[in-house]
Structure formats: structure tokens, C-alpha cells
Amino acid sequence: MPVLLKHAALDYKDYGSPSNFNNNTLSCITSRTISKVIQKLTHENAPSSTQRWYHVLHHPLHQHPRINDLQLSPFKLENNVPHSDYMYFIVHTSEFIYSKKPKHKEFSPARMKRIENILFAELRPNGSFKYLMNLLDDVGSFHLVMVQKVGTLEEVNKSLQDFLPLNEKAAKRVDKIMFSIPETWTYFRFVCFSKLFFKNNDLDCSSWLLCHCLGIIDVHELTGSIAQTKQNAQSVGTSQVKCGKRMRNFDSNVRKKLEEIKKNKSHVAYLMHRVSMSRGRQGDVIGVIDGGSDNNMNGIPCQINSFSIRFLVDQACNTTTQHYESMPYSLDQVAIGLVRAKNKGRGGRCKIPLDDIAWNTGSLQNGLPLLEMNL
């Protein structure tokens, strides 16, 4: 498939320009994306082992005999980039999993042979109509995903930045999975050769599915609210996520909070409310809603668009005088954060006004340092 990938940017011109990866400030993981991942993981046609969801085409610890023949334009790697700096995975797609045929969804030797013929352009020049249909079915059955080692957090996909560097729990999961991310890789980014990746400039469903299978994240732990159990009538079988009573209560509370947020016309009503958010290596952190944006009609707010959440930061890591940073978050993320803060006994509003000098000096009026517990 060098010919196919060579013109990938042109083929996807209707879906937007080729991805700049980190140039989209609004990129973030959404409940819809994770819901699709969970539906795939629980589908009755899916392989029982998550490791059968992907095939390793190239890994630093597992050299594919023909990887040197795989030309990936326009993402052609420089000659001085060693093989230890990237790896390729072939990932199942929803079209393949939800179809009735073929019944066997694993990467069998016969199927891998067909896929390799597609990737390396070893196709019949004048195939029959049936051959063409089978070829299209094979092409739609997988996504090629490249994972590349990078040097800084800024080079990581936008929505993956909160999860890197890996915390202790994720590092243990990765260590147990064969051909997962090498332990020497602190930062890395995903490139998926799919139209959604080119359209969104960020991780798509296949990339997040691979993140789960490699142990980088656990989609079931991200949020209980995205575990949709209903499927379209045309879907094959049923897809259900079994949750305990505690998780079901959490789901219900998040759903109610999200409905409440959507009914409000302005973010002002939520200013100074505490939220509990995941901040990658920092773990769960308490933040304060300090702003947001609304959709206006004739100058009057009619719907909340997004929120801004303020977090305390270590002055040693901050180049400015202020001891906080504000980050944008979507409605569903804030709904989860509000419920989690309440469950921790930190619900309600912050005690320190948003314009208080303590946010800039890092010190309270009594001279003590401003800490998360003071919020």
C-alpha cells in the first residue's frame, strides 16, 4: 500500500487538511469516542482477549521482516530515525467487528497474508468484481496505526497529554503486555491512517482502542457515564458493560448533572464550584471553575459551550508569577468532575475568591502557603 498511503492527504481533502497533530486547541477525548471503544470491547463478535484486537507489524523488540518496504508518505521517516523510535500496529475497525462475516475476527495467518498483500501493494492488476469486493472488505477491516517516540509533552497528541508520563498503575499494566510501549518511552504520539484522524487532528476511536489494549489507559476507568448499553437495532447482538451498584449510582449522578448543565444558559452559575479532575501523573486534582464560554443569541446567553478550570501549580514549574493555570474542559468532563468532587466530600464552592491575591502570590493572608486543601 505505499501507493495508497502516498496520496493519503489528497484522498482525505474532503475531511480537512492533513493533521498538524497538536495544532487544535479544542481537541479532547469525548464520551462518544470512549463509548464506541467500550461497545467494541464488549461486542459478542469481538475476540475474548484484547490483545487479539491488534497485530504488531513492527515493534522495537520484534522486527518485522519486511518493515523496511513499508513507505509511509506523507509521514516519511527520516533516514537517521532508528527503528527503535517507532512501531506500527494493525487494529480492528468497527466495520469488521460488527459485520456477520467473516466469523473469525482474529489475526489469523491467512488474514495477515491478505493484509500484508494490501499494505505492500501486491495486488492483482486486473481482478474480478468478487476480488475487488473482497479487497474492499479487507481494507475496511483494519486501520494502520503508527506510534512514534517524541521528546517533549508538546509533541504528544492533544488528548493524550493528560495521561503522560504514565503513572505507576498504568506503567504496571504496560509492563505486563507483550509488545506494548517500551519502558524507555516517556512521551509518544499516535498517527492513525483513517479519515477521522485527518479530520479531527487528534486521536480517533482506533487509536483509543489501541491505547486500552496496550495498557496506556483503561477506558472503563475514565468515566462510568460513557458506558452506553443500548445499540442500534441494526447492530449484531447486544453490548453491555456490567457495573456494580456504586458505578451505576455514579453513572446516574453524572447523567443528572450533565442534564442540569445543559439546561443552564450560562456558565456563570457554576463559577467557583470545585471539581475533581484527572491530571495525568498528578493523579486526581481538585480544581475550581473560573470561567467558560457560552453560545449567545442576540447578545443573550442561550447555552453553555465549555468551561475553564483553574488548578494550583508548583511555582518551580511555572514561568510566570501566578501560582495557577486555567484549562478548557467540555461539559461532560465537568459533569464528571463535579460528581467526583462531591463523592470526595469536596462539593460546593471554593472558599477563596477568584480575584484573591493568594492565587498570584501563592500565600494566604496568614502567611501560610496556598494548598489544594484550602480551595
The DSSP-derived string for 247-283 is HHHHHHHHHHHHHHHHH-S-GGGGTTBEEEEE-GGG-
**Can you give the pLDDT at residue 286?**
92
Classify 87 as helix, strand or coil. Answer: strand
- Spatial distance between the Cα atoms of 96 and 93, rounded to a whole number of angstroms: 5
- What is the DSSP pairing of strand 274-278 with strand 86-92? unpaired
Residues in the chain: 375
| pLDDT of res. 81 | 53
Separation CA 232–CA 39 (nearest Å): 11
Higher-confidence position of 152 and 63: 152
- Beta strand residue intervals within the chain, DSSP E: 54-58, 86-92, 142-150, 187-192, 274-278, 284-297, 300-312, 324-329
Confidence of residue 69 (pLDDT cuts 50, 70, 90): low
Displacement of CA 193 from its chain's centroid (Å): 16
Per residue in 246-276, pLDDT tens? 767 777 888 888 889 988 889 999 999 999 9
Angstrom distances, CA of residue 253 to CA of 10, 100, 229, 332: 45, 37, 17, 12
Statement: residue 59 has pLDDT above 80: yes
CB 163 within 8 A of CB 280: yes
Q: What is the CA radius of gyration of the chain?
A: 23
Per-chain mean pLDDT for the chain: 75
What is the average pLDDT across 179-207? 82
Nearest-angstrom CA–CA distance, 374 and 370: 7
Q: For 330-344, b where at least 16 C-beta lie within 10 A, e where not — what string?
A: bbbbbbbbbbbbbee
Question: What is the model's pLDDT at position 277?
Answer: 87
What is the rounded distance in angstroms from the CA atom of residue 141 to the CA atom of residue 116?
13
Per-residue pLDDT band for 290 (boundaries 50, 70, 90) equals: very high
Q: How many CB atoms lie within 10 A of CB 229?
A: 13
Q: 326 near 277, Cβ under 8 Å?
A: no
Residue 71: predicted pLDDT: 58
pLDDT at 6 over 50: no
CA distance 286 to 309: 10
Question: What stretch of H or E contains 169?
Answer: helix 168-176
Is the model more confident about 23 or about 327? Answer: 327
Q: Which of 129, 91, 122, 351 is nearest to 213 (CA)?
A: 91
> Is residue 362 within 8 Å of 315, Cβ to Cβ?
yes
How far CA 241 is from CA of 43, 97, 214, 252, 299, in Å, comes to 10, 17, 20, 15, 43
